[in-house]
Amino acid sequence: MQNSKQYDLEDRTKKFAIECRKFIYQLSKTTGNYEDGKQLVRSSGSQAANYIEANEALSKKDFIMRIKICRKEAKESQLWLSLIDIGSNQILQKIQEQLLQEAKELTKIFGSILEKSK
């Protein structure tokens, strides 16, 4: 059961990174969106990669550090998502809100994992 939950979260973090990329491809090509989009690609991918690394951690200390990075990158993803300009596009607004919600939930999940790991 523990491993199943780990791999579910691996899939969830990967899906979040993929959905962020799909969202970015739909944005208007402004300088701000280009720069914020690049940052979102990095932070969303980093939280997914670091969660995989956490599951392969060599020690408890390594695991905790990786989860802290996951939480930090999920919080950073929230920032970049909130800065992206979608104009008045209602479809993109809905996607943006869903991604922001997922980033917030991932941040809470990583925070909870940290609390339980102490």
| pLDDT at position 4 over 60 | no
pLDDT of residue 1: 40
Average pLDDT over the chain, rounded to an integer: 94
What confidence tens digit (pLDDT) does each residue in 28-67 have? 999 999 999 999 999 999 999 999 999 999 999 999 999 9
Do 55 and 10 contact (CB within 8 A), yes or no? yes
Predicted confidence band of residue 118 (pLDDT cuts 50, 70, 90): confident
* Domain at 95, CATH number: 1.20.1440.60
Residue 102: domain span: 2-117
Do 68 and 94 contact (CB within 8 A), yes or no? no
- Print the SS3 string covering 43-54: HHHHHHHHHHHH
